[in-house]
Amino acid sequence: MDMDSIIEALGGAAQVQTLLGVGPSAVSNYRARGQFPEYARIRIWQALKARGITVDPETLSVEPSGQPKPIASNHGNVSPVVNPAVTAIPEPPRILLIISGGIAAYKSLELIRRIKDKGWHIRCLMTASAEQFITPLSVSALSGETTYTELFSLTDEAEMGHIRLAREADAIVIAPATANIMAKMAYGFADDLASTVLLATDAPILIAPAMNPFMWAHPATQANQRQLKIRGISFVGPDSGDMACGEDGAGRLAETPQIINAISHILPGSGRLNGKTALVTSGPTHEPIDRVRYIANRSSGKQGHAIAAALARQGAKVTLISGPVNMPPPPGVHVVAVETAQDMLTASLAAMPADIAVCAAAVGDFAIANSGANSGANNGANSGSGAGKIKKSDTGDAPQLILQQNPDILATIADHKMRPKLVIGFAAETDDVVNYAIAKRLRKKADWILANDVGQDDQPVFGSDFNMVHLVTENGVEPWPEMSKHDLADQLVSRIVKEISA
């Protein structure tokens, strides 16, 4: 079958994205290459099979008859395929549970039982230190599957190569997760089976940490957690309370029902914003003065990127329009890289219609009208950013830059005939933050404004991993406590879910 027929048979590109847990750009790349990546073929084969279409799992070509094969009915007779939607049998999600070493490892046995109660398929993998607490035998007895433990085990590799183990999972759960496995993930180590699988997977990952409160609170563990969240990895817990080590504080493994609930939220297709589209602007803009210089705002893109990632985790189809940043593209998000405010506006309008718009970019208010002006050798006013570097003059006269106002992207989107249902902006102010934000919400016709104070020397926002905002809506002003930009993104997206589904 050719690519287009496969995508059509599976219900369209959006369904294929959900099935493979990838973003729209990945599917476009597969189309351009004319083939799916190797790991995806097994999922596509299974999904087609569930729709009564039998193809060769290696090549995805239709089996010899050239026709989709009919499905055997319960009575062993053969019934023709009439409506693929009716015949489709959903496969249970496949969970790979990684158990790392820690006294809480025994709680993973209960988790396995509850995962099975949900009707999900489970396979387990244990680290060497987890084997000090519970045995692979008890894990296998409960999961009903082989438990994998070693990277260089001939038996394990022959039965299930580590790459297949990584790829044949719809979600990977690490419970309990030690400080060690989090550190290995943050730095990309691959020195045992668990860390290798975690590096080789593209499935969503949920981490349920459990460790001594001091280990959890240590700046190294906290930095690793933030790093992992940047990559779109979800966390559940840890809870606070009495610890097995006799200390008290945050570090207890989350309760089993909490973990089950968190797993159900990371499974592909489970998001509460499924079928919704979002556009997010992030980062600064660069307004060229000449070919080498520009005016920019202080913005790392951390907050906007975290919001895009959080929307995508909830199943929204996200276009992230980003100015120049040093941030990895969030998983499952279509990124459009731009430089100037004008480009950002053009890309934002191209991403409409959308259900949700979040304008988190620090857009330059002014562009240089005469970029390249007075540029010495090529002294040409209005010669554009294509003009060479402006030269210093021997007389000491500085060139005159003429500023022109940039379009306001947030206000344009909010006043557009295709206005998204929910339009959200930010207001970074140095004084009278809330009052300016209230006025800005009305002036720009935004639904919500997140106001943050960027004027505090002791609590910088730009480039920091933390943020503290007031949410300004038509109903009033809500102060939110200081939290990481990722937690803020999750909290904002929970509010968006409520608003959009109201």
- Give catalytic residue positions: 245
d(CA 274, CA 467): 28
SS3 call for 406: coil
For position 410 contacting ligand C5P by CB under 6 A, the verdict is yes
Which part of the chain contacts ligand C5P (CB under 6 A), choosing from 100-108, 182-190, 214-222, 404-412? 404-412
For position 281 contacting ligand C5P by CB under 6 A, the verdict is yes
Length of the chain: 502
Taking phi first (over 0 means left), then psi (-120 to 50 degrees means alpha), and beta for anything else, what does residue 14 get?
alpha
Which part of the chain contacts ligand C5P (CB under 6 A), choosing from 111-119, 252-260, 307-315, 360-368? 360-368
| One residue of 122, 175, 186, 361 binding ligand C5P per CB under 6 A | 361
For position 290 contacting ligand C5P by CB under 6 A, the verdict is no
Looking at residue 33, its amino acid is: R
For position 277 contacting ligand C5P by CB under 6 A, the verdict is no
- CA–CA–CA angle 64, 32, 199 (5° rounding): 90
SS (H, E, C) 388-448: CCCCCCCCCCCCCCCEEECCCHHHHHHCCCCCCCEEEEEEEECCCHHHHHHHHHHHCCCCE
For position 363 contacting ligand C5P by CB under 6 A, the verdict is yes
d(CA 423, CA 442): 12
Closest CB to ligand C5P among residues 129, 342: 342
Q: How far is the CB of 410 from ligand C5P (least distance, A)?
A: 3
d(CA 160, CA 101): 23
For position 469 contacting ligand C5P by CB under 6 A, the verdict is no
Closest CB to ligand C5P among residues 182, 472: 472
Closest CB to ligand C5P among residues 167, 440: 440
For position 427 contacting ligand C5P by CB under 6 A, the verdict is yes
Which part of the chain contacts ligand C5P (CB under 6 A), choosing from 66-74, 113-121, 160-168, 419-427? 419-427
For position 208 contacting ligand C5P by CB under 6 A, the verdict is no
For position 215 contacting ligand C5P by CB under 6 A, the verdict is no
Closest CB to ligand C5P among residues 235, 426: 426
**382 near 404, Cβ under 8 Å?**
no
For position 193 contacting ligand C5P by CB under 6 A, the verdict is no
**258 near 237, Cβ under 8 Å?**
yes
135 φ, ψ to 5°? -100, 150
For position 409 contacting ligand C5P by CB under 6 A, the verdict is yes
Closest CB to ligand C5P among residues 39, 462: 462
320, containing H or E segment: strand 317-322
By the 10 Å C-beta count (0-12 exposed, 13-18 middle, 19+ buried), 36 is classed as: buried
What residue ranges bind ligand C5P (CB under 6 A)? Answer: 281, 341, 359-361, 363, 365, 406, 408-410, 425-427, 440
